[in-house]
Structure 1
């Protein structure tokens, strides 16, 4: 993974989230744990900050009250009467405040609104640039209620130009001769803030370490749980792909081991049943093949005798001549049925080999039409061949494709009700398609779902005119599939039917689309109207 390609991270993380149960579990656990730890950390930080502030505030109020009382005691014990004495007395009071309190930030302001006095000393402040932090609200409270103490949270400026949190406590002093003065003492809370920051850093570091530990523990625990599940998933995939001998290793006696035992038991049962079905299918295929082969010898003898009788039918009485004709017809149909059964048994056994060669489907279609033209004329059916495509050669087995065409055109003649039949061959660079379109009765939705079933007939009472066996479309479907092609049908009652064979132009080529439309262009329906007609591919609705 290229970490510099950061634009692809979201897509990769999304794929990892979808594909990895372990990643999802660890991510969710870490996220929820981190959220819980963050809530606890915020609560602890706020609680510690409030406790530090309240503890420091209590100390500040006691310290300020003690310093104010000491200064007032000095002022009350003095008999100063002139400005110099009062100034000296107030200096002693400030020294007493500094000695009695832990702060050197002091401000003394004469309460406004008093009578002017020449003995009143000037205001004094060591707040420096922080004098403005003494708000009008605090001064109003101190001025309005003598004898009480008030405080306010502020931000104090330090000597190095920085800022620290602080508290300003205000009260009143009564100075002899000069009157009432406001006393403000500022306390620096920098140490409490540093303590709070230390606690917060400790909580943050401990929280990160805890989240990493939780993630690591979760990863290890989930790995122990997910690994057997992953093994079970891989085993089931191999089992589904046909590897029936694969099993899950059984270790221990926990629930995972129980799952492995149950899965292996199911696989054993499935393997046994599949083997039984395979053996039964093989027996059935061998039986059909053996019977078909064994019947050929007596059938050949019957055929020779039947041909002899058929050739001499003119010399027989009428009833005997008719019997010879029926015998000849049924022997031909029996022989065709045996050939079809042998062909079906080869497909069922998977022993079909193609003999491909470059073949022009137009020529095959012409040969098939010529071979069935006499049957079409007897039905009053006109056969037309349309070949607009430019790539008409394909690598196919001509014998099997000729058989498909013969079957499709013969069925169209039989069910076309004497109406014209259009055989179309079209192609593109990758595929070639043959369509047989008739305008007969068509089929219902139920019928076209079974059109490729073996021995199925749309109308069992309808007489066959071309000696079919009921296996033609099934064999045609297998012939198309072994070429990697499609055999599809569209039909609608009263509008006829259209069978379309699509083949890749090269052996082992892949099909993506057919060059011939289905439903046909002259169907006269909306192709989205599934209630009017359906397209069926290989016996499955498409």
Structure 2
């Protein structure tokens, strides 16, 4: 491979690594937010370290300010004393001098400078004649250090020039700079002087605070490092303490989640005699009690299921015999006296109802035992509904109702159990016929890419919200005094709900008194896939309209072509 090729490959690797790192950085805020929501340990440590950092920052700021003030005041007292000694020495020389002339003035100036330098540690000295106060031949005496030329403010000169006492001192904080060097904090002290034969003078001494500033910076850096180290130490201590406290809570949470998932044998480990162990002991005792009660209930449920199943199976043989004998009597009922003939008809009818009830009880026992299984195959919901309408059509006409099919969609096949879906449709149609008050019954079918739906809409008496909430209960009837016209067992809707759940679908109800009812069955097009939004609305679109208007709509849809 050539060098150019290697460079190209390395460039590509770099270009790939760059976006990957950027993506990882972008995910950090989301990860931190998720950790903050989910982790009590992380949240506690962050809050502890943050509050400790705030407390340490406040303490460090207070200590730093106190030290800074103490250093400044100490240095200020020192420079004021030195400045006072220098001013006294200069004033003494001026008071004892009686020279005149320029040469003598220069000699006097050098003597004053030497006396001031000997009396103070400052090398920044300035001596000015107070403007408007010159009175003699020695008024030409003046000198100034370059660093003090620009730092002595007019306000300070005004205070010094107005001072009447030569023992008065005035000071000002300044920033001293020498050429391009960094500025350092300093203090300028001004003192008024009186020179015989020359007038009023102003003496200024400058002192830099570089040493105090370096001391303060060192203290602040030390405090910052100590605060960082202490914050880290507090974080470690908080992590250890919180881990000791949170770990048992996490174990308890995981154990309770396993218990909720059905793992009734899990328990929290018990170690020591502290309050956590007491909690674990109480939790384990509660888990033992729950496990015992659940086991008892499960055993009782299995006994009941087995009893229902055994009774149902044992009843099949005598029921078959009774059914055969009843059929013989029913076929010969015309040759019997009227009372005997009526008895044969009742025996035949009740035997059929008893057989249907027995079949429903067996089916319910399978659902309760969890042994019900689907036998799915690709099938068209429209075709299954058409077959059920043909079966129930005569019964609907006897009740005065007309079954109308509005197939908006659904011809595409779905993975369903045809036997169970036919049973659901028959139960829904039978319920609509039972409570439809002789009005038309509209069956709507529609589908999407993920689901197929069926709605059975009647315009009968409807139900109250309390009745609608119990309509899927076993053996429950909205109006016990109402006569059954189709001989139901009271288990049809409960079985239909179980069949829908077995498919992974939903069976829902909308009903209002006087406006009728609408049952909606929604099934996944493919087994195990999510349904999404149901293709048919619930409440139905005509929920707020008059039944008569929608009767006309149903008639129009029924008479037209099926979509």
TM-score with structure 2 length normalisation?
0.90
Which residue in the other structure is 1:134 paired with? 152
Which residue in the other structure is 2:5 paired with? none
Q: Name the SS of the counterpart of 2:225 in structure 1.
A: helix
Q: Distance in 2 between matches of 1:499 and 1:138?
A: 96
Q: Distance in 2 between matches of 1:154 and 1:202?
A: 26
- Report the CA distance between 1:129 and its aligned residue: 4.2
Q: Name the SS of the counterpart of 1:133 in structure 2.
A: coil
Which residue in the other structure is 2:101 paired with? 82
Moved more, 175-184 or 103-112: 175-184
Q: Name the SS of the counterpart of 1:522 in structure 2.
A: coil
Q: Distance in 1 between matches of 2:545 and 2:72?
A: 84
Aligned length: 525
Q: Distance in 2 between matches of 1:413 and 1:429?
A: 32
Q: Alignment partner for residue 175 of structure 1, among 195, 210, 215? A: 195
Which residue in the other structure is 2:489 paired with? 469
Which residue in the other structure is 1:243 paired with? 263
Moved more, 405-414 or 360-369: 360-369
- Report the CA distance between 1:97 and its aligned residue: 0.7
Please show how residues 89-108 of structure 1 align to structure 2 within 5 Å. Answer: 89-108=108-127
1:479 aligns to 2:482 (yes or no): no
Q: Distance in 2 between matches of 1:210 and 1:118?
A: 69
Please show how residues 243-282 of structure 1 align to structure 2 within 5 Å. Answer: 243-282=263-302
1:354 aligns to 2:387 (yes or no): no
- Report the CA distance between 1:482 and its aligned residue: 0.8
Distance change >3 Å, CA 461–CA 224, structure 1 → 2: same
- Report the CA distance between 1:506 and its aligned residue: 2.2
Contact 1:430 1:506 in 2 (8 A): yes
Unaligned runs of 5+ in 2: 1-19, 547-563
Q: Alignment partner for residue 387 of structure 2, among 362, 367, 375? A: 367
Distance change >3 Å, CA 124–CA 354, structure 1 → 2: same
Distance change >3 Å, CA 390–CA 402, structure 1 → 2: closer
Contact 2:380 2:411 in 1 (8 A): no
Contact 2:135 2:197 in 1 (8 A): no
Unaligned runs of 5+ in 1: 527-542
1:40 aligns to 2:59 (yes or no): yes
Contact 1:49 1:196 in 2 (8 A): yes
Question: What is the RMSD of the two structures over their aligned residues, measured on CA atoms?
Answer: 1.8
Q: Alignment partner for residue 337 of structure 1, among 348, 357, 376? A: 357
- Report the CA distance between 1:181 and its aligned residue: 1.8
Which residue in the other structure is 2:49 paired with? 30
Q: Alignment partner for residue 59 of structure 1, among 75, 78, 85? A: 78
Q: Distance in 2 between matches of 1:341 and 1:35?
A: 71
Distance change >3 Å, CA 357–CA 79, structure 1 → 2: closer
Q: Distance in 1 between matches of 2:109 and 2:123?
A: 16
TM-score with structure 1 length normalisation?
0.93
Moved more, 183-192 or 70-79: 70-79
Deviations 1:314-344 (A, max 9, x none): 1211111111111111111111111111110
- Report the CA distance between 1:84 and its aligned residue: 2.2
Deviations 1:477-533 (A, max 9, x none): 11111111111121111111111222222222321122222222222269xxxxxxx
Moved more, 455-464 or 169-178: 169-178
Distance change >3 Å, CA 295–CA 431, structure 1 → 2: same
Which residue in the other structure is 2:330 paired with? 310
Q: Distance in 2 between matches of 1:181 and 1:509?
A: 101
- Report the CA distance between 1:9 and its aligned residue: 2.7
